[in-house]
Amino acid sequence: MPWSRNTSWRQGSVLAQNDFQAVGLTDTPDADLAVAISHDCDIANDNLDAEPAVEFIFARILEERNGNYTHGKNPRILHLDYRHEGKSVCLELLASRKMMVPKNLLEAIQPEQTYTLMASRQVLQSWLAARYRRHALPNSLVERLRTVFGYIEKEGKKNSAGIVSFRLSYEPEGELTPNEAYELWLSIVYITDKAEYGSMAQEIAQNLKTEFPKLLEKTQDSGTVDLRQCEAFSEEEFTLRDMRDTEEYRIEHLSYRTDPPGPMV
């Protein structure tokens, strides 16, 4: 049967391991499943000259998720919740492990129906896009905030279950000489699922404000940064406009400079 717009494949659908060989996937080290990541419109397109294949990403089944890799916090690794035979399971997706499956091979295969995506597909979509839209910070700002970023990473990993993201904005854009100061605004966005996440995020914000001058002392030869704001916001309070006006600081990042590596949000 030729590929049809009525295909049951969708973004987030799962390809079972026992179907790997049938669709030409022979080199699959340490992979339990594969997850379709092409957009629904591209998957449904029956013009095989325009869209001849569906993109997948290999996945491993984990016993438990790691909060550092949920909600798209890390651009290289995503822990995504599925329901499998009535139980919650976590799939680990690695951004580097993508591959294309021709539709003429996939058309005879059905998605593994025992797996249902529990998280919003927006989490998957945002994570896929983040790898290409990360914003590189100026090297001079990176160097000034080196110990601050270290502090943020430490607190973020320690409290990963309740934090959606650390977001920042700064002025001016571009590189500055050591005698010129940057202005910085920091926001800690927390999940509202549990009441204690709010107080946790507020404590992180307050501690960061207190520690900020001491952290900057370690990089004072590179210049200074004026902290204009460091506040905690719930995911309900943080608006779309706030997201447009800020950059997300991610756990893994690089600046324009590759040696030595520096942060990219």
- Burial (Cβ within 10 Å: 0-12, 13-18, ≥19) of residue 28: middle
Instruction: Tell whether 26 and 52 lie within a shared domain.
Output: yes
H/E stretch holding 200 reads: helix 196-217
Decide if 258 is inside a domain. Answer: no
End residue of a domain, out of 115, 133, 151: 133
Least confident of 16-20, 190-194, 218-222, 253-257: 253-257
The confidence band for 70, taking pLDDT boundaries of 50, 70 and 90, is: confident
| H, E, C per residue of 201-264 | HHHHHHHHHHHHHHHHHCCHHHCCEEEEEEEEEECCCCCHHHHHHCEEECCCCCCCCCCCCCCE
Decide if 70 is inside a domain. Answer: yes
* Number of domains forming the structure of the chain: 2
Instruction: Tell whether 19 and 129 lie within a shared domain.
Output: yes
pTM over 0.75: no
Instruction: Tell whether 123 and 162 lie within a shared domain.
Output: no
Instruction: Tell whether 30 and 129 lie within a shared domain.
Output: yes
What tens digit of pLDDT does each residue of 127-169 get?
A: 888 777 666 788 899 999 999 999 998 888 887 778 888 999 9
pLDDT at residue 133 in the model: 65
Concatenating the DSSP letter of every residue in 87-144 gives: EEEEEEEEEEEEEEEEHHHHTT----TTEEE-S-HHHHHHHHHHHHHPPBPPHHHHHH
The confidence band for 90, taking pLDDT boundaries of 50, 70 and 90, is: very high
Interhelix angle for 146-158 vs 196-217, to 10°? Answer: 160
Instruction: Tell whether 105 and 206 lie within a shared domain.
Output: no
What is the CA 143 to chain-centroid distance, rounded?
Answer: 24
Decide if 48 is inside a domain. Answer: yes
Instruction: Tell whether 181 and 210 lie within a shared domain.
Output: yes
- CA pair distance 99, 58, nearest whole angstrom: 8
Instruction: Tell whether 154 and 191 lie within a shared domain.
Output: yes
Instruction: Tell whether 157 and 230 lie within a shared domain.
Output: yes
Least confident of 23-37, 93-107, 178-192: 23-37
Decide if 105 is inside a domain. Answer: yes
Name residue, tokens 């890799």. Answer: 69
Q: Would you tell me how many other CB atoms lie within 10 Å of the CB of residue 131?
A: 11
What tens digit of pLDDT does each residue of 230-262 get?
A: 999 999 999 989 988 888 887 554 333 334 444
Phi, psi at residue 177, to the nearest 5°?
-80, 160
What is the CA 25 to chain-centroid distance, rounded?
Answer: 26
Decide if 3 is inside a domain. Answer: no
Decide if 2 is inside a domain. Answer: no
pLDDT at residue 120 in the model: 76
Largest CA distance in the chain: 69
Instruction: Tell whether 123 and 18 lie within a shared domain.
Output: yes
Residue of 46, 23, 27 whose CA lies nearest to 36: 23
What tens digit of pLDDT does each residue of 39-63 get?
A: 999 999 999 999 999 999 999 999 8
List the domain range (segments joined by +) for residue 93: 14-133
- CA pair distance 90, 112, nearest whole angstrom: 15
Instruction: Tell whether 146 and 104 lie within a shared domain.
Output: no
Decide if 27 is inside a domain. Answer: yes
Q: What is the CATH number of the domain that holds 229?
A: 3.30.300
Instruction: Tell whether 105 and 156 lie within a shared domain.
Output: no
- CA pair distance 25, 9, nearest whole angstrom: 17
Instruction: Tell whether 122 and 68 lie within a shared domain.
Output: yes
- Tell me the C-alpha to C-alpha distance, in Å, between residue 28 and each of 47, 124, 214, 248: 28, 21, 48, 32
Decide if 4 is inside a domain. Answer: no
